[in-house]
Structure 1
Amino acid sequence: MQTDATSLRGRGALLAVIDARLAAGGGVALHGPAGIGKTAILDAVAAQAAARNELVVRLRPVRTERSLPYAGIADLMSQLPDDAAQALPPAQRAALAALRQGLPPRGGTPALARRLVLPLLLTHCARRRPVLLVLDDAPWLDAESAELIGFAMRRRPGHRVRVLAAQRRPDPAGKRRAARLCPAPVLELAVPPLDADDLTALLEARGLPCRTASRMHEASAGNPFLALALGGAVAPGPAWRPAPIPETVRELLRDRLRALPAGVAATLLVAALATEPTTTMLLRAGREDAVRDLRLAETEGVVELDGEAVRFTPPLLAQVLAEEATVAERHGAHAALAAGAADPTEALRHRALRTGRPDAAVARSLAAAADRLGERGAGRDAAELYLLAADRCPHTLAAQRLDWLVAAARAATTGGAPALAGRAAEAVIAADAPAGHRVRARLVLLDLAGQGLAEMGETFAAALAEAGDDPALLAPVRLRLTWAAFLTGDSDRAAIEAGRTVEAARRAGDPTTEAMGLSLIAQVQRLRGEARWADTLARALRLPATPAPDWLHYGPRYLAARFAMIDDRLDEARDELLRLLVVAEHDRIGEARVEVLRSLSEVATRAGRCREALQYAHRAVAAAQHAGLSPGPTWYTAAVAELAGGSLAAAAGFARRGVRASEQEGDRLYLRRNLHALGQAELRLGETRAGVAALRRLRDLEAESGGADPMIVRWHGDLAGGLAALGEHAEAAATLAEARAAAHRLGNTPGTVGYLDRATAVVLSESGQADSAVVLSAAAAQHFEQLRQPIEQAHALLVQGGAERRRRRYAAARMAIGAALAIFLAADAKPWAEQTERALARTEGTSAPGIPPADLGLTTTELRIAALVRDGASNREIATQLYLSVKTVEATLTRVYRKLGVRSRTQLSSRLQVAELSSPA
C-alpha cells in the first residue's frame, strides 16, 4: 500500500530535507534499524513523485536474492518504458535483452556495452520527465546489479535522475552500499525514532487504547514497528501487567543480536543482567574488552552510552538477551557480577540469582538488605530483593514469605515499578494470607489502576469484605472508593464514601487519611456549589497530616493551591505549588509530580507566561508517559497550554486524544475538561458547530454529575459565545444567567465578574447590541488587568474591538485590538496574536471572499445569512446549510432588513453589492 506523505506522523522535517535534496538532483541514502520506518518514507516520497508525473522505479530486493546475479537489474529494466530501448545502439539493445531476462552476458557482448545500457536508458527517459529510482534494503541487492547501477550513477546522469536508497545500519558486507548507489552529491541521513507524541498518535490511529499507546514509547525506543507489534500483543487486563514479547519482535531483536560477534554478545549479557550496567562494572566483572565491545554495540544501535552508563535500545533487547541465554550462561554472568560487585548488597543479589534453590539464610539476608534499601528510599531495588527473598524462601518460613511479598508490593509501588508491584500483590492474594495482608495487596492493585478505578469493582468488594470492621484497613479502601466515585462523576457517592473515610480514619488514629478524606469532601462540596467547602478544607489543613510524596496530590495543601488558582489568586497558588514540587520530585510513582507540574502549567497560562506553561505541560506529558499513567489529565493540560501559547491544531489534537482516553477509562472528570479544551479549539479554528457540540456535551455531563461552580471548568462563556455566533441567542443568554446565579450563590470570586461580563459582551455583540458590549468588555478588561491576568485582559480587549467595529468606530476598534495584540505578543500567546492580527486587518475594511464587508454593522450570523440571500438561497436552504431552524433564519433576516433599511431580498442584494463595491481592496 502506498503511503502518502501527509499520513506519516513525525516525519515532516525529514521528508522536507529529502525533497529539497532530490529537487536539486543527486541522491539520498537513508539508514536505520529494522522497523524504524524507512520503507514508509520511501513509499511517501515515491507517491509524491508519481503524483508529479515523474517516472518512479522501485526496487525491493530480499535477502534470498543476493545470490541471484542480475535479479535487481532485470526488475529495474522491466519498469522502464519499452520505447526507450529503441533509442539504444545495437550492442546495447542486445545486452538489454539479456539483462531484462536476468541472464548473464553472452560471450560476445563487450563489458562496456553492457555497462552503458542503464546510463543510456536513464538519459533517454529523463529527457521526457524526471526519473526517481527508489531502492529499499540496498545491501540485499545482488552484486552484479549493484555494480551496474553504481556505474550508471558515477557517470553523473544529470539532475533529472535521482536516487533514494535505504539500508539498515552498515554491516561489514554492505557498508555504505546505499550511498554508493546514489549519484553525487549524496546526502546520508539516519531515520530517527519517533518522539513520544507522534508515536502515541500513530498507535491510537491504529486502534490501540490511549493508555497502552502512551506507554509504548519507552518500550520500543520510538521504533514504530516494535511499538505496533508490542501494543498489539497487550491483552485486556491490568495496565501494569507486562505483555509477552511477540515472536515477530523477538525475531527482529534476535537479528540485531546475531550480527554481533560472540564476545560482544557475552559482554552485553552481563550488562543485561546487571541492575545498573556501567563500563566500570563490566570491567570489574571480568569483561576486559568491555570498552571496545560497547563501542561496537553502540555503532550497531544496540546500546547507547551516556558516560559510564549503558542503556539498551530498545530496553527489550536486554530482556531478549537474558531469556535467550542458556542457564549456564546466565549463572556464569551472575557469578561474574557477584565477584566484581563493589556493593555488598549487589553481590548478595547476584549470588542469590546464581541458583534457584530455597535457602533460609539467603532469604533472610536478602530481606534484611531490602529493609535497608527501603529506609534509604530505594523502593524499586528494595522490591526486587523482597521478591527474591520470597522466591528463595523455604516452606518453613511461609509467614515471613507473605510479609516479604506485601513489603515488595508496597516498595515497588512507591518505587515506580508497577510490574513488580502487581506481581507481588497477586502472589499475596493467591496465597492463603491473613486478611490484613490481602487488603494491603488489593490496595496496591487499586493504586496501580490509576484513572481506571471504575473497572476495579471486584477488587473493591473483596477488599471491603476482608477489611471487616477494622478501621485501619477500611479507611484506605474507602478513600479509594471516594476517588473512584469522583472520577465517574457520581458526586453523591463520592460524598458518602469520603464521609466514611473520615470516620474510619479518625477511629484508626490516622490523621493523614482523615485529612485526605476531608479534602475530597471539600472538593465535592465546591463542585456542587456548597459554600461550606472552605470550612471543610480548613479542618483538613489543621490536621497533622504527612502524606507520602506519592499521595501529595490528594492532600489538603495541594487542594488549597488548586483552589487558589481557581479563585484567581495566582501568585499564592504558584508559590505553594513550587514548594510542593520539591516534595513531589521524590515521588517514584510519578503521579504526584505529574499533578503538580500540570497545575503549575495551568497557573502559568492564566498568569500570561505561555512559554513556561508549555514547558510545564510537556514535562507533565513526558512524566506521565514514562510512569505509564493515564494520559487524559496531562493531555488536557497540554491542550490548555497550546491554546494559549502554542498551536490551535495541536490543542485540538491533545484534546481529542484526551476525550478518547477519558472515555476508555471511565474518567468523567477529565472527559468534561478535555471536552472544554476541544470546544475552545474548535471555536477558535472556525468550526463553530463542532465546538458548540462539544461544549453542549460537557454541559450535559456536568448537569448529570451535579457540578455547579462555573469557575472550576469555565465553559459557560465559551458555549454562550458559540451559540450566539450560530444565532441561538436565547440559549446563550440562558447559559450565562445560569452561570451568574451559581456564582452569586457561591460568593463571587474576583475573576467571576470579569469572566462573565466578557462572555456577556460577546453575546450582546453577536445579538446586535454593540453599545452595551463595548461597555461590558471594557469593564472586563480593567477587571483582568487588576487581577494581573494578561491573556484574559487582552481577550476582553479583543471582544471590545470587535464590538467597536460593529459600531463602525474603526479608530476605537483599532486602538482596542492593537492593545490586545501588544499584550498577546508580550505573553508569547502565539495563536491569540495570530487571531488578533486578523481582527486588526478587518478594521482596515478588508473582508474574506464571498462575505459582505464587516462595516455593515451585522453580526457574524447575520452576515452569513445575508450573503446566502444575495446568492439566491431560500430560507429553508439557508437553515439546512447553517444547521439553523427556519424560524431562526426568518427572525435573523428581519433584523438584517431593519439594520440595513431594506424591505425585500432584492433590496438586500443591491445593498450588499453597493457595500462590496465601496469596500477598499
Structure 2
Amino acid sequence: MQSDATVLRGRRELLAAIESRLAAGGGVALHGAAGIGKTAVLDAVAVGAAARGEWVLRLRPVRTERALPYAGLADLVAQLPAEAAEALPPAQRRALAALRQGLPPGGGSPALARRLVLPLLLAHCARRGPVLLVLDDVQWLDAESAELIGFAMRRRPGPRVRVIAAQRRPDAVTARGPGVRSGARPGVLRAGGAEPGGFRVRAAGPGRLEPAGLRRAVRLCPAPVLELAVPPLGADDLTALLEARGLPCRTASRMHEASAGNPFLALTLGAAVAPGPAWRPAPIPAAARELLRDRLLALPADVGATLLAAALATDPTVTVLHRAGREDAVRDLWLATAAGVVELDGEAIRFTPPLLAQVIAEDATAAERSAAHEALAGAAVDPTEALRHRALRSGRPDTAVARSLADAADRCAGHGAGRTAAELYLLAADRCPHALADLRLDWLVAAARTALTGGAAALAGRAAEAVIAAHAPAGHRVRARLVLLDLAGQALADMGETFAAALAEAGDDPALVAPVRLRLTWAAFLTGDPDRAAAEAARTVDAARRAGDRTTEAMALSLVAQVQRLRGEPAWFATLTQALRLPAAPAPDWLHLGPRYMAARFAMMDDRLDEARAELLRLLVVAEHDRIGEARVEVLRSLSEVATRAGRCRDALQYAHRAVAAAQHAGLSPGPTWYTAAVAELAGGSLTAAAGFARRGVRASEQEGDSLYLRRNLHALGQAELRAGETRNGVAALRRLRDLEAESGGADPMIVRWHGDLAGGLAALGEHAEAAATLAQARAAAHLLGATPAITGYLDRATAVVLSESGQADSAVVLSAAAAQHFEQLHQPIEQAHSLLVQGGAERRRRRYAAARVAIGAALAIFLAADAKPWAEQTERALARTEGNSAPGAPPPDLGLTVTELRIAGLVRDGASNREIATQLYLSVKTVEATLTRVYRKLGVRSRTQLSSRLSGLDVPEVTTPV
C-alpha cells in the first residue's frame, strides 16, 4: 500500500505505542490484513527515526522472493557501510563476500561463523548510533534470511538495535488432522503451499485455532517484543482520508462499511465509483478483487464450500450451515476468522468486509451455487426462505415459480419485511415468462417501492430502472421515477430530467402529480429558493386535495409553514395548525416531512424544549421502522440539538453520532448529520472535532447543492473558528452565511442563530458599526415574528459583547446579566453560563476583578455540571486571567482594554504606523485612529511614546473572539 500522510489518520495511539516501545529498546511486531496500512505506519516510524539521526535499514520482500535463499539478507547488508564489513573477522568477511557475489554464505565456513555476520555488522553500526531495522511484509521473507535475522536478534544486540516488523495475516493456512486436506483446483478456494517454517494452525484453547505463522514477525525482533494489530480506520478518519483524495463526501461516507475500514480497499473501491446515482453499485475493481481473494487463498479447499453457503444465505448462522450439511462449520469458520475473512458474533456470521461474500459467490461455478442453494433450501425453516433458494437454483422462466414468488412477496410486504419482499418481487419478475409481461411490470414497481422502504437502495434502483426501460404504462413509470427521486436524498437538484419526465408522464392525473410536486417543493427548499418552494407547495396542496390524498396535502402544508417561517411570515402557525388537523399518517420514511415532526422542530426553535423532546421521543418509536433511514436520522438529529440546548451534552453527542452512523449505513447525504455532530461537539466534545465536521459538512452541502445545510454548516464552522481564536476565519464563514441567507430570503433569526456570533466576531475586529447593524437587523426580524425570551436573551448577550468591545463595559454587564436570567428561566444552562462568561469579561474590563471571578466561577460550575468540556476549558482560561489581580494595585493583564484595543496598542509599542496597523489587522485607518484615541483615554497617556512605556514587558495577544 502506498504511503501517504493522509493514510495516518487515526493512527496517533498506535504510533505512540510503537515509539514508546522502540525508545526503550526491543522490537514491535505488527500484523493486519493486506491494505490495512502497515506500510504507512512503518514509513512514518522510519521517517521519524531518520529525522533523529538514527541508522535506518529497510527491507520489503515480495512474494516471488520467498524461494530465493538469502535474498532478504543480501538486501539488508547492502545498506550497511563499507567500514562495517571491513571490521569483520576473516571468517565472517568470507561469508559476506560470498553473499555479495550471489552465492550462499556457506562456502565451507562454519555455521556459527555464518550466523555471526549480521550480529557483528549491527554491533559495529550501533557503536556509531542507534539502529532501526524496518521489516515489511515478512511473510514473503525467504526462510534462510529469516533464520539469520532471528538468530541475530536472539543474540540480544542491545538497546541501540531495535526492530519493527510487519506481516499480514497468513497467506497459507493448513490444518493437520482427520478430515483436513489442502490443495484445490483453480477458481475455488485453495491452500497455497506453506513456506518453510511457515504457517500452520496451532491450538489456542478449547474450540479455537489460530495461525502459528503470525509469530514470524515476533521471532524477527529483539526482546522485549510488543505485538500490535493495525486496526481498521474508524468511519470519520476513513471518510476524511477519502475526501482528501478527491472523493465526493457522500461516496466517501459510505465506503467505511463496504471496506470494513481497510484504507487501501476503500481507496480502490472509491476510485471505481463513476459519476451517477449514489445508489448504483459500482463493480468491484480488479485490484480490490485480488486483495480479497488473497485472504481466501489462505484457506483449505473444503472451507470454501462452507463460506459459499454462508455467502448465499440470507442471514448466515452456524446453525443454518449445520442444517445445510456443513458438519465442520465451526472448524471452517474459525479458520476463516483467523484469516480475517469472517467475524463471529455468537451464532451470526459476518464477512469482513461484506464484499467478500459477493466475491465468493461470483467466483463459484453455476453448479456450485446451485448445489449450495439446494442445500440451503433444505435447511430453511421458513417456507418463504426455502422458496427463495429453490428459485435461485436456476434462472429459467417458470410461471408457477414466478407466481409463488409474487404471492410470498405480497405476504412479506404485508408483514413489513420490505427488503425480503423486494427481493422476491424481483425474483418473480426475473422468472416471469413472456405471457405474464403485465404482471412483470406490476412486480417490478412493487419491488422498487418495497426495496426503497426496506432500505435496499441498489434493489430499488435496479427495479425502477427496469420499469422505465420497458414499455410500461404512465402510472408505472411515474411511480418508478418517484423511487429514483427518493433515492437521490439531498441531491434532488441534480434530478431535473427525472422531474421533467415524471410531470410529463403524470399528465392531468392529480394522484400522480401531487407526489411529484411534493418532491419539487422539497428540492426548491433545499436549493435555497423559498419562492419556488412556496409555489410548488401550493400546486401540491391543490393536486392532493383533488386526489383526496390527505397525507400528501399535510406534508405540503408543513413545507408551506416552513417556508413562511423562514421568510418571517407570522402565518406559519395557522398553516401548520391546518396541517395537523388533517387525518394524515405519513409512512415512517416520510415522517420527517410530516406536520408532527415540523411542529416538534418549531417547538425547538422557539425554545419549548420539553415539548420538543417529548414529541421527538414519540416520533423516534415510529421512525425506527423507517428502513430508508432518513426519517430516523432526522429525528435523532433533532433530539441531539434539543439535548444541546437543554445542557445535556452527553446525550447530544450520543444522538449526533448515532445519526452520523445511521446516515452512513443508509448511504444518505452526510451534510445534515455532520452539522448536528459539529453542534454537539461545540457544546460537549472538542472544538477541533467540531471544525472538522463542519468543514466536511460545508463540502458535502456544496457538492449536493444543499443550500439549507450549507448555511447551517457555515454557522457551526464560524462558531468553531471564533472560539478557537481564529477570528478572521470565523467572521469570513459567517459573512458568507449572511450573504447566502440574504439571497434565499431567510428572515427568521431563531432558526440559525448566527447574528450574535457574527456581531461578536466583528466587534473583536473593531468593526463596531457593522456589528451593531447586524444585531439591529436580527431584532427587527424577531420583533416581526414575536420575539421569545430566548431570542431576546440571545440578542442581549450579543449586544453585551459588542458594547464590551466598544469600551462600554457598564452597559455590557447589565445586558449580559439580564440574558443570564432569561436563560435560567428557560432551563438552558449552556446559554446561561455563556451569558455569565460574557458578564465576567465585562466586569474584568471594568477592573472589578472580584465580581468577574464570581460570574466566571458560576459559569464554570454550570459548564462542568452539563459536561460542556470545551466551554469549561475556555472558562478556566478566562478565570485564570482574573487571578493575580486580587492584590491591591496589581496591574491587570489587559489593562482594561478590549482585545482589539490591546492588539493595536501592542503594534504601536512595536513601532507600527496607523496605516501598517490597518493593513495587518484588515481595518480602515479611521477605525485604527478611533480605537487608539480610546486607548489613550483608558490608559491616561497622550503620546505613542508614553503608550510604549506603559506597555513595556506586556505580552500582547493575537486578535481572538471575546468571551
Q: TM-score range by the shorter chain?
A: over 0.9
* 1:744 alignment counterpart: 783
Aligned to 1:179: 218
> 1:234 Cα deviation (Å)?
0.4
User: What CA distance in whole angstroms lies between the structure 1 residues aligned with 2:302 and 2:365?
Assistant: 16
Q: Distance in 2 between matches of 1:153 and 1:29?
A: 13
1:483-882 to 2 correspondence within 5 Å?
483-845=522-884, 854-882=893-921
1:421 to 456, 460, 467: 460
Q: How does 1:303-382 map to 2 (within 5 A)?
A: 303-382=342-421
Indicate yes or no: 2:304 matched with 1:289.
no
Which runs of 5 or more structure 2 residues have no equivalent in the other structure? 174-193, 199-212, 957-963
Runs of 5+ consecutive residues of structure 1 not aligned to the other structure: none
Change beyond 3 A, Cα 1:443–1:482: same
One-letter amino acid matched to 2:467: V
Which range is displaced more, 743-752 or 106-115? Answer: 106-115
Q: How far apart, in 2, do the equivalents of 1:916 and 1:762 lie? A: 23
Q: Tell me the distance in 2 between the aligned counterparts of 1:485 and 1:240.
A: 22
Mapping for residues 138-217 of structure 1, pairs under 5 Å: 138-170=138-170, 171-172=172-173, 173=194, 174=198, 175=213, 176-217=215-256
Distance, in Å, in 1 between the alignment partners of 2:622 and 2:330 is 39
Say which SS state the counterpart of residue 57 (structure 1) adopts: strand
Counterpart in the other structure of 1:39: 39
CA distance in 2, matches of 1:308, 1:902: 81
CA distance in 2, matches of 1:715, 1:34: 47
Q: What does the per-residue CA deviation read over 1:588-612, in whole Å, with 9 as the maximum and x for residues that have no partner?
A: 1111100000000000000000011
Tell me the SS of whatever aligns to 1:727.
coil
Q: Give the structure 1 partner of residue 135 of structure 2.
A: 135
Query: Aligned in 2, Cα 1:774/1:26: closer, same or farther, shift over 3 Å?
Result: same
- Residues 633 and 663 in structure 2, CA contact (< 8 A), matched pair in contact too: yes
In the other structure, the counterpart of 2:940 is 901
Does the 8 Å CA contact 1:84/1:121 hold for their aligned counterparts?
yes
Partners of 2:894 and 2:662 lie apart in 1 by 50
Moved more, 83-92 or 865-874: 83-92
Question: Which stretch shifts more, 254-263 or 808-817?
Answer: 254-263
Give the deviation of 1:84 after TM superposition. 2.1
2: distance between equivalents of 1:453 and 1:7?
Answer: 33
Task: Give me the whole-angstrom Cα distance separating, in 2, the residues matched to 1:575 and 1:399.
Answer: 48
SS at match of 2:280: coil
Partner Cα distance (1:437, 1:40) in 2: 52
Instruction: Tell me the amino acid that sits aligned with residue 80 of structure 2.
Output: L
| Aligned counterparts of 1:914 and 1:577: Cα–Cα separation in 2 | 56
- 1:74 and 1:101 in contact (8 A); partners too: no
Judge which range, 539-548 or 838-847, deviates more.
838-847
Q: CA deviation at 1:915?
A: 6.7
Distance 2:505 2:651 in 1: 47
Percent identity over paired residues: 87
Deviations 1:33-65 (A, max 9, x none): 111111111111111111111111100001111
Q: Which residue matches 2:181?
A: none
Alignment coverage as a number of residue pairs: 913
Q: Which stretch shows the higher mean deviation, 552-561 or 286-295?
A: 286-295
**Aligned to 2:340, what secondary structure does the other structure show?**
coil
Amino acid aligned to 1:26: G
Structure 2 letter corresponding to 1:76: L
AA in 1 matched with 2:63? R
Deviations 1:403-451 (A, max 9, x none): 0000000000000000000000000001111111010000000000000
Alpha-carbon distance between aligned partners in 2 of 1:108 and 1:453, rounded to the nearest angstrom: 78
Q: How much does 1:6 deviate?
A: 7.9
In the alignment, which residue of structure 2 is the partner of 1:454? 493
Q: Structure 1 residue 2: deviation in Å?
A: 8.9
The secondary structure found in structure 1 opposite 2:164 is strand
Partners of 2:582 and 2:5 in 1: CA distance: 59
**Partner-residue secondary structure (3-state), 2:807:** coil
Output the amino acid matched with 1:223: N
- Deviation at residue 95 of structure 1 after TM alignment: 2.2
State the SS of the aligned residue for 1:276: coil
Q: CA deviation digits over 1:616-667, x for unaligned, max 9?
A: 0000000000000000000000000000000000000000000000000000
How do residues 256-275 of structure 1 correspond to structure 2 at under 5 angstroms?
256-275=295-314
DSSP 3-state at the match of 2:134: strand
Using the alignment, how far apart are the partners of 1:103 and 1:779 within structure 2? 88
* Equivalent residues of 2:7, 2:241 under 8 A apart: no
Tell me the CA shift for residue 781 of structure 1. Answer: 0.5
Q: Which residue identity lines up with residue 142 of structure 2 in the other structure?
A: D
For the Cα contact (< 8 Å) 1:5–1:48, is it kept in 2? Answer: no
CA distance in 2, matches of 1:347, 1:144: 54
Contact 1:845–1:855, Cα closer than 8 Å, also in 2: no
Correspondence for 1:476 among 485, 494, 515: 515
Residues 914 and 123 of structure 1: CA distance in aligned 2, closer, same or farther (over 3 Å): closer
CA contact (8 A) 1:132 1:164 kept: yes
Structure 2 CA distance for aligned equivalents of residues 39 and 846 of structure 1:
54
Q: Residue type matched to 1:145 in 2?
A: S
Contact map agreement 1:77 1:99 (CA 8 A) in 2? no
Query: How far 1:855 moved relative to its partner?
Result: 4.0
1:567–1:750 Cα contact (<8 Å) kept? no
Displacement of 1:329 in angstroms is 1.1
Letter aligned with residue 31 of structure 1: H
CA distance in 2: counterparts of 1:167 and 1:102, whole angstroms: 26
SS of match in other structure, 1:162: strand
- Which residue of structure 2 aligns with residue 24 of structure 1? 24
| 141-150 vs 895-904, greater mean Cα deviation | 895-904
How many Å apart are 1:399 and its aligned residue? 0.6
Structure 1 length-normalised TM = 0.98
Taking the aligned partners of 2:360 and 2:506, their CA distance within structure 1 comes to 43
What are the superposed Cα offsets for residues 237-260 of structure 1, whole Å, 9 maximum, x if unpaired? Answer: 000000010010111112211221
Secondary structure, counterpart of 2:315 in structure 1: coil
Q: Distance in 1 between matches of 2:220 and 2:101?
A: 22
Q: What is the CA distance between 1:464 and its match in structure 2? A: 0.6
Which amino acid counterpart does residue 807 of structure 1 have in structure 2?
R
RMSD over aligned Cα, in angstroms?
1.5
Contact 1:69 1:102 in 2 (8 A): no
Answer yes or no: is the 8 Å Cα contact 1:4–1:43 preserved in 2. no
Provide the rounded CA distance (Å) in 1 between the counterparts of 2:297 and 2:704: 41
What is the match of residue 65 of structure 1?
A: 65
